[in-house]
Structure 1
Amino acid sequence: MTRTELEQLLIQQKAAFKASPPDLGKRLKALKKLSDIIDENKESLIEAISRDFGLRSREETLVLEIFPLHDQIRHATRNMRSWMKKQYVTGSWFLLPSKAYYQYQPLGSVGIMGAWNYQLLLTLSPLLDAIAAGNHAIIKPSEIAPASAEVLKELINSNFQPEYIHCVTGNTQLAKDFSSMPFDHLFFTGPTNVGKMIMAAAAPNLTPVTLELGGKSPAILHDSYSVELAAKRIMAGKLFNCGQTCVATDYIILPRKLNEEFKEAATNSARKFYPDILNNKQYSGIINEDHYNRLESLLEDARNKGASITELASNTSSDEKRIMTPKLVFDVNDEMEIMHEEIFGPILPVLNMETVEEAIEYVNEKPKPLALYYFDTNKKRIDWLLKHTLSGGVTINDTVYHLAQHNLPFGGVGASGMGHYHGFDGFQTFSKKRAVMHQKRLAASDLLHPPYTNLKKKLIQVLGTLSKV
């Protein structure tokens, strides 16, 4: 699609929205259609996603993308009516007898840019939030996963009118054009460096943006917690989609005395999850050769700077070019690239720090992470950690799953993003929370109009006194 065609599509959507903003019935119907599309075409979606990765198991796509989408649609459908209601608030006493309330109204036509690692989920999840809020939308799946992008385009465009919901696909030039369009809101999921470019492109139009970015999400293990249980849960979250997950543990901090125990537990977990890993059809491939080579260069850089790398797989040779086995990296330091870049692969650096305080100081010196994981059962220490850190989200004694809580917001902070979505927070992101005051025929505020007579001056003085704490 050319820039001119994209501009015309946006003009068409804005005109259609202005003529008839979607009411509750249209929103519910659209969400039901979206759910039906996903269900009826799940096999073609699964196959396309697997083709993009070279290998992605059917079960992984069902669990990590298709099931969450159905569940999010169900949650939105059940709650949308209450989200749309007027919410009355207590009015200011000096403006009596007015009534005050707010209500959420759709913004108009929004743009959504998906991400390749979970093409289906990360494109359609914000879309369903936008639909629930009553918007029209243009979505752009990632060009890095072209097979799933084209299937999404076919399914969306054959089931929705272009002036309501439309999908466009194309190269990086289209992505640049897309981010510079005067949408009423722009939603982007992707890496931090690209997020900066998206924000800069949106700025001339004053387009509000939601940026769901990434970063280095740490896991901190207290020495009183079960190493075996922590390793199992860390490795489970880390190896989903072969580590190509924005909230996967990017590095772990633990006392040095736990290194061998963690190595053994992580190895056992990885081999239990994926026996004969290089021939295991439930273990995902790396998205493309460039990304695979990037991961290899991170390992080589770490090795050259003194790191020791532990292979967790039971076999290490394969004819598959884009299968990377899980690895732990010990003796890491901040001179290594692996401690600066988001890894996005099955590689887990291990940092040794003896206390939680030391670990938190290290984390706080870095850009704020998208997720923070802490393994401990001591409530006092947990509360202390929550008070002294800031991250997009936190999971205690597990990893990844906080993003599946519909009634919690999902989003980053600082370098890991801005804004939230999922559930009501997604509805709110794609809405304007508009304030409304309804005044009566006779109102106390009429007494505040000029001219300011002596009586009104005394009244203003009384108001000033009464308003003090």
Structure 2
Amino acid sequence: MTVATASRESQHIFTLQHIFNHQRSEFSAQPMPDYASRVTALKQLKTALLKNKEALCEALAQDFGHRSHQDTLISDILPCVMQINYTLKRLKKWMRPSRRHAGLLLMPAKVEVIYQPLGVVGIVVPWNFPVMLSLGPLISVLAAGNRAMIKLSEFTPATNKILSSLLASLFEDAQVAVIEGEADVAATFTRLPFDHLLFTGSTAVGHHVMRAAAENLTPVTLELGGKSPTLIAPDADIAHAVERMIFGKCLNAGQICVAPDYVLVPEDKAQEFISEFKQQFVAMYPQGVHSRDFTSIVNQRQFDRLNLWLEEARHQDVVIEPAHPEALDDKAHRMVPHLLLNPDENLTLMQQEIFGPLLPVITYRTIEEALSYIQQRPRPLALYLMTHDAALQTQVKNNMHAGGMAMNDTIFHVAADDAPFGGIGPSGMGHYHGKEGFLTFSKAKTVLTRGKINTAKLVMPPYTGWKAMLQKAMMTFFLR
């Protein structure tokens, strides 16, 4: 067994290293793809994505056991199409060198910043949105003129088959290569000396990825998760607040890195919140777990994890309110949202990112208490505030840390094409989307150009005579 494992790992290393070397060699031969070739690649990708959208919806439904086609169109297909359209309209401007001021000290000279492709970029894709979280980063990578190796999740084999075929029809392996395999392949993948590595996944695995990348001093963008709070302020109308947050918790059955992880509610409005959530859920999904529009938990392992956390809460006599009487389907690993009122902080679901349809409801007496509760915990990937109090909006916007924020809404800030997306601290580092994606996968290189006049001689030794007097005058002028 040991020999077989070692042999298999050696084969992984050889294959991945071969693909990487090929891409690096091809990039060296063409280090600055022109605007036309980048546009062509993006347009072809869009055409292929639209052509395969139904096949991708079917594949994701197969991988999840059941996944609403509309969930896939909204959260996987549409964001990629919108991102391509946005990028195509602005790419020429992004690629232009930007002029900078040389300043009096360097005159006469020209200073500009050019945006060069980094080279070969690694993309590690999770299972929850395998289309958006593979093609989304790829759009930015290609726009910046790079080559890419994409490690797909082993938990979405049907989707992987469509994605692999789609990308193989457009690109040679020397430009875009798709990698499949278990955790051992992923570990080998992250140890490659990429010019940049983007990982989307859990905070726990993010630690391992960053350690692997550090061996090669590979820059990383980590899109992790954490416990994203929703704060319902005292002035908020509960019905409106639930309406703004419920879709963010129910889309993809809550298997979203920016889904509301827990909600803070004024103490005297907790029961109203629970009743309103259940009422609105039933209106959206009348058959509960059997509703065609509600997505399954991706596999038995994740379903068992969520059930275990629920059982742990029941054992501690936590009040648990399913959002619908038809709450569980063990065979199809489906689960409606379960609201848990003031669960103990020591419970697993209060310590780890939930990533599913469990929703702790935490009550508070004062807004200061609620804000303190959030601030005492690791910085989240997203923060949601339900209020029309302008002063409170300003206070939270300026003083609270999170990767991103939405007021009177949830999750949709991620869909803003003209804004960066990324975490902070335990919820990630770096960002991409839109122009920030282009910049993340580019090297902003400063270029200073001088003509025939060399004013630099004025600051060269020897520091005597007239030079000494000139430099003294310069220092008097500039050091003030």
TM range (shorter): over 0.9
For residue 441 of structure 1, the aligned residue among 452, 457, 464 is: 452
2:253 pairs with 1:264:
no
Query: 1:143: which partner in 2?
Result: 154
Q: Counterpart of 1:91 in 2: which secondary structure?
A: coil
1: CA distance between counterparts of 2:328 and 2:422? 38
Aligned pairs for 1:193-208 (under 5 A) are 193-208=204-219
> Aligned equivalents of 2:345 and 2:142: distance in 1?
44
CA shift digits 1:390-437 (9 cap, x unpaired): 110000110000011111100000000001010000001100011111
Alignment-mate amino acid for residue 22 of structure 2: Q
- In the alignment, the residues of structure 2 paired with residue 460 and residue 358 of structure 1 have an alpha-carbon distance, to the nearest angstrom, of 59
1:158-177 matched pairs, under 5 angstroms: 158-177=169-188
- CA, structure 1 residues 344+99, in 2 after alignment: closer, same or farther (shift >3 Å)? same
**Residue in 1 aligned with 2:5?**
none
> Which residue of 16, 26, 31 maps to 1:16?
26
Which whole-Å deviations, capped at 9, do the CAs of 1:48-71 have from their partners, x for residues lacking one?
Answer: 111111000111111111111101
Matched, 1:334 2:345: yes
Give secondary structure in 1 for the equivalent of 2:466: helix
> In the alignment, is residue 408 of structure 1 matched against residue 419 of structure 2?
yes
Shift of 1:317: 5.5
Q: Is the 8 A contact 1:94 1:444 kept in 2?
A: no
Q: What are structure 1's unaligned runs of at least 5 residues?
A: none
Conserved 8 A contact 2:38-2:143: yes
Which AA in structure 1 matches 2:340?
V
- The structural deviation recorded for 1:28 is 0.6
Partner residue of 2:144 out of 133, 136, 159: 133
> Could you tell me which of 276, 279, 299 is aligned with 2:310?
299
Aligned-partner SS, 2:198: strand
Q: Does the CA contact (< 8 Å) of 1:306 and 1:331 recur in 2?
A: no
CA 1:165 to 1:318, structure 2 compared with 1: closer, same or farther past 3 Å?
Answer: closer
SS in 2 for 1:411: coil
Instruction: Report what 2:39 is aligned to.
Output: 28
Contact 1:373 1:399 in 2 (8 A): yes
Aligned to 1:122: 133
Identity %: 38
Q: How does 1:245-264 map onto structure 2 within 5 Å?
A: 245-264=256-275
Q: Secondary structure at the match of 2:149?
A: strand
Q: Secondary structure at the match of 2:129?
A: helix
Does 2:68 correspond to 1:57?
Answer: yes
Query: Which residue of the other structure, out of 375, 381, 385, is the alignment partner of 1:374?
Result: 385
Q: Per the alignment, in what secondary structure is the counterpart of residue 221 of structure 2?
A: strand
Aligned residue pairs: how many? 469
Matches within 5 A, 1:54-133: 54-133=65-144
TM-score by length of structure 1 reads 0.98
Secondary structure at 2:334 match in 1: coil
* Mapping of residues 385-464 of structure 1, within 5 Å: 385-464=396-475
Note if 1:465 corresponds to 2:476: yes
Structure 1 contact 73–128 (Cα < 8 Å) conserved: yes
Contact 1:277/1:314, CA 8 A, preserved across alignment: yes
Q: Distance in 1 between matches of 2:366 and 2:108?
A: 58
Are the aligned partners of 1:219 and 1:374 in contact in 2 as well (CA < 8 Å)? yes
The answer to whether the aligner puts 1:365 opposite 2:376 as a matched pair is yes
For 1:127 and 1:356, the matched residues in 2 are separated by 42
2:17 equivalent in structure 1: 7
- After superposition, the Cα gap between the structure-2 partners of 1:442 and 1:310, relative to the gap in structure 1 and judged at 3 Å, is same
> What's the offset of the Cα at 1:12?
0.6
Amino acid at match of 1:122: L
Shift in Å at residue 318 of structure 1?
4.1
Q: Does the alignment pair 1:273 with 2:281?
A: no
What CA deviation, in whole Å up to 9, does each residue of 1:367-400 have, x standing for no partner? Answer: 1100000011111111111222111000011000
Cα distance in 2 for partners of 1:316, 1:390 equals 35
Measure, in 2, the Cα distance between the counterparts of 1:142 and 1:457: 66
How many Å separate the matches in 2 of 1:337 and 1:297?
9
Looking at structure 2, the residues matched to 53 and 414 of structure 1 have their Cα atoms a distance apart, in angstroms, of: 30
Check conservation: 1:219, 1:253, Cα contact below 8 A: yes
- Aligned residues of 2:234 and 2:367 also touching (Cα < 8 A): no
- 245-254 or 137-146, which deviates more: 137-146
Q: 1:312-344: CA deviations, max 9, x gaps?
A: 114235464301111110022311111111001
The SS at the match of 1:2 is: helix
The answer for unaligned runs of 5 or more in structure 2 is 1-10
- Aligned equivalents of 1:404, 1:236: Cα separation in 2: 14
Question: How far does residue 438 in structure 1 lie from its aligned partner after superposition?
Answer: 0.9
Partner of residue 235 from structure 1, selected from 246, 255, 279: 246
- Look up the match of 1:349: 360
CA positional deviation for 1:464: 2.6
CA distance in 1 between partners of 2:371 and 2:479 (Å): 41
Q: Which moved more, 1:37-46 or 1:148-157?
A: 148-157
Q: Distance in 2 between matches of 1:425 and 1:289?
A: 37
Rounded Cα–Cα distance in structure 1 between residues aligned with 2:68 and 2:327: 20
Q: Tell me if structure 1 keeps the 8 A contact 2:403–2:424.
A: yes
**TM-score, length basis structure 2:** 0.95
Letter of the 1:2 partner, please give it: H
Structure 1 residue identity aligned to 2:274: K
2:51 pairs with 1:40? yes
Corresponding residue number in structure 2 for 1:181: 192
